[in-house]
Amino acid sequence: MARGTLITIEGIDGAGKSTLAAGLMDALAARGVEATLLREPGGVRTAERIRDLVRDPVATIGARAEALLYAAARAQLVEEALQPLLAAGRLVLLDRFVDSSLAYQGAGRDLGVDAVAAINAFGTGGLTPDRTLLLRIDPAAGRARSAERGAPPDRLEQQSDAFFARIASAYDALAQADGGRIRVIDADQPRAAVLADALAAIGDLV
């Protein structure tokens, strides 16, 4: 059986990743395409417990520990869910993957993209998405969207504007370096336009 397809969705907080993921699932189902939707950190029980920890607004977690926790959650997701699904030939939509750590911990936390890439290569066994949809939005607009949800900010959402500016710049650099895999989508468009662009960007895979 042919290996399945892994499509990831990336972007800063407030870019609309979860909204797009849900829209893609509905659109694919309407076309008769079966897919599995997972999120990061999370997707399996152990990774969900790590998610609760890294998002805890009162938790004290150093930058290196944070990077390792995300990599650990990712390693468990790959072993327990992603690899079996892909081995079974499934199409998987994943809300965040390694690129998030490269941007958030590598650039946002100033740990270095190469260092964070190394621990994630180990954690994932080198698994690489077939396509990545990068939702690009101005950091200030993304933060405004997050605030509109009305939920208390989590530990990362409490960070400074400079933190999110570094993340946005890192995402742009990743897209420039790997344009074959990463397709940039203007997340400031209406939802229908974002979904249409995303479907066009994965049309050759589904």
Among candidate residues 206, 140, 139, 136, the one with its CA nearest the CA of residue 176? 136
What torsion do the CA atoms of 66, 69, 73, 76 make, to the nearest 10 degrees?
150
Residues 35-94 pLDDT 10s: 999 999 999 999 999 999 999 999 999 999 999 999 999 999 999 999 999 999 999 999
Note the pLDDT of residue 1. Answer: 58
Could you write out the DSSP letters of every residue in 22-48?
HHHHHHHHHTT--EEEEESS-SSHHHH
Tell me: domain 5-201, CATH 3.40.50.800, correct?
no
Domain range summary for the chain, segments of one domain joined by +: 5-201
Q: Is 0.85 topped by the overall pTM? A: yes
- Name the band, by pLDDT with cuts 50, 70 and 90, for residue 192: very high
**What's the mean pLDDT in 93-102?**
98
Mean predicted confidence (pLDDT) in 168-184: 97
What average pLDDT does the chain have?
95
Q: What is residue 79's predicted lDDT score, i.e. its pLDDT?
A: 98
CB 193 within 8 A of CB 172: no
Cα–Cα distance measured from residue 39 to residue 69, given in angstroms and rounded to the nearest whole number = 15
